[in-house]
């Protein structure tokens, strides 16, 4: 187990900083993404739960940045001095979440992806300080997931109108989670984070882990998703050829428009439509009302 910077090789430190930055930025950027739809929660108690999720996410971001400070970075500067395109959060949190159905689908699908990624690190990482810090994070993320699952079930069963809203959310948010786990193993030449044992599972293993609970939830409540369990292969399989183009304005996947992983990386690097607004919200501490 690695405990301090002095014990790290240059390569280890670089790989660790990279994954901690992605983790911290993803936690941080979920806060502005979750903010507006949380204000539109259907009752006061639910709004309190949604706000608590945001508070937790900011705390998780703080933990990752605090760990980065041990590696010579400055938290203040990481949050306030970077331009929007310099943040490394997952692409999903570059998108605008426009209603409560999208918010709870994010809790149910995207927080689940966060749990899968962080549980692997919690269990397998060679970096002691991160492993210990994740005990609290993992427990809190379970609450977010439960909140998401509870509300996805409620909306799916309440009326045709709410079912359609949550289905529309799943339609664009499910494939974003699939992409989140990154390049398929057969296209990834080497994975430094895996080689340094900063994480323990490969991209495809993590994607399978996510699908093994996400797909049964959606099937249970009668929501469609482009994946199913294949008994012969004994694994979950996608019903489209990954990766495909995404129309981020219409929030629609173009399944008949195959692209390369290099195109995906370019799309990620260009950042999504809401990143500037979210970074401004965080850095200015203000919310633009009515825009």
Partner 1 sequence: MSTNTSPSDTAIGPDDDTDGVEAAVWATLDEIPDPHLPISLVELAMIYDVQIEAGHVDVEMTFPCMGCPAYDFIHDDIRGALRLVDGVDTVDIDVVWDPIWSKDLLDDEVRAKLHESGIGL
Contact residues: partner 1, CB under 8 A: 45-46, 48-49, 51-53, 132-133, 135-136, 139-140, 142-143, 146-147, 150
Q: Which residue lies nearer to partner 1 by CB, 137 or 223?
A: 137
Shortest separation between residue 124's beta carbon and partner 1, angstroms:
19
Residue 1 Cβ vs partner 1, minimum distance, rounded to whole Å:
17
CB nearer to partner 1: pick between 59 and 184: 59
Task: Give Cα 267 to chain centroid, integer Å.
Answer: 16
User: Smallest distance, Å, CB 66 to partner 1?
Assistant: 11
- Residue 40 CB, shortest distance to partner 1, in Å, is 17
Contact 156, 165 (CB under 8 A): no
Nearer to partner 1, 59 or 84 (CB): 59
Smallest distance, partner 1 to C-beta of residue 281, A:
22
78 CB contacts (<8 Å, ≥6 apart)? 21, 24, 65, 68
- Among 278, 240, 245, residue whose Cα is nearest residue 90: 278
Q: Between 67 and 206, whose beta carbon lies closer to partner 1?
A: 67
**Least CB distance from residue 49 to partner 1, whole Å?**
4
In the complex, the smallest distance separating the C-beta of residue 56 from partner 1, rounded to whole angstroms, is 8
Tell me whether residue 75 or residue 82 sits nearer to partner 1 (CB atom): 75
Cα–Cα distance between 190 and 200 in angstroms, integer? 14
Query: Locate tokens 């427990």: which residue?
Result: 139
Q: For residues 22 and 54, which CB has a smaller minimum distance to partner 1 in the complex? A: 54
Backbone angles phi, psi at 196, to 5 degrees: -85, 0
Q: How far is the CB of 22 from partner 1 (least distance, A)?
A: 21
> Closer CB to partner 1, residue 12 or residue 34?
34
Instruction: Name the residue nearer to partner 1 (CB basis): 213 or 283.
Output: 213
CA distance 3 to 25: 23
């Amino acid at each position: 187990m690695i405990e301090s910077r002095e014990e790290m090789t240059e390569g280890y430190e670089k790989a660790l900083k990279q994954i901690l930055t992605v983790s911290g930025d993803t936690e941080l950027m979920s806060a502005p993404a979750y903010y507006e739809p949380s204000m539109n929660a259907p009752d006061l108690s639910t709004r309190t739960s949604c706000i608590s999720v945001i508070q937790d996410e900011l705390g998780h971001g703080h933990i990752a940045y605090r760990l980065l400070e041990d590696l010579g970075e400055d938290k203040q500067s990481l949050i306030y001095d970077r331009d929007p395109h310099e943040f490394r959060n997952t692409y999903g949190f570059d998108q605008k979440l426009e209603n409560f159905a999208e918010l709870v689908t994010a809790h149910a699908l995207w927080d689940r992806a966060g749990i899968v990624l962080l549980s692997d690190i919690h269990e397998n990482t060679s970096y002691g300080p991160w492993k210990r810090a994740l005990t609290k994070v993992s427990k809190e993320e379970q609450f977010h997931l439960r909140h998401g699952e509870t509300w996805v079930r409620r909306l799916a069963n309440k009326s045709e109108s709410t079912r359609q809203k949550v289905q529309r959310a799943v339609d664009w948010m499910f494939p974003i989670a699939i992409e989140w786990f990154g390049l398929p193993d057969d296209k990834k030449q080497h994975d430094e984070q895996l080689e340094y044992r900063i994480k323990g599972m490969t991209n495809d293993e993590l994607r399978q882990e996510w699908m093994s609970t996400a797909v049964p939830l959606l099937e249970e409540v009668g929501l469609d998703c482009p994946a199913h369990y294949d008994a012969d292969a004994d694994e979950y399989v996608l019903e489209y050829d990954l990766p495909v183009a995404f129309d981020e304005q219409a929030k629609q996947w173009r399944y008949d428009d195959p692209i390369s992983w290099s195109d995906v990386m370019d799309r990620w690097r260009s950042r999504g439509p809401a990143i500037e607004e979210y970074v401004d919200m965080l850095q200015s501490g203000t919310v633009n009302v009515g825009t």
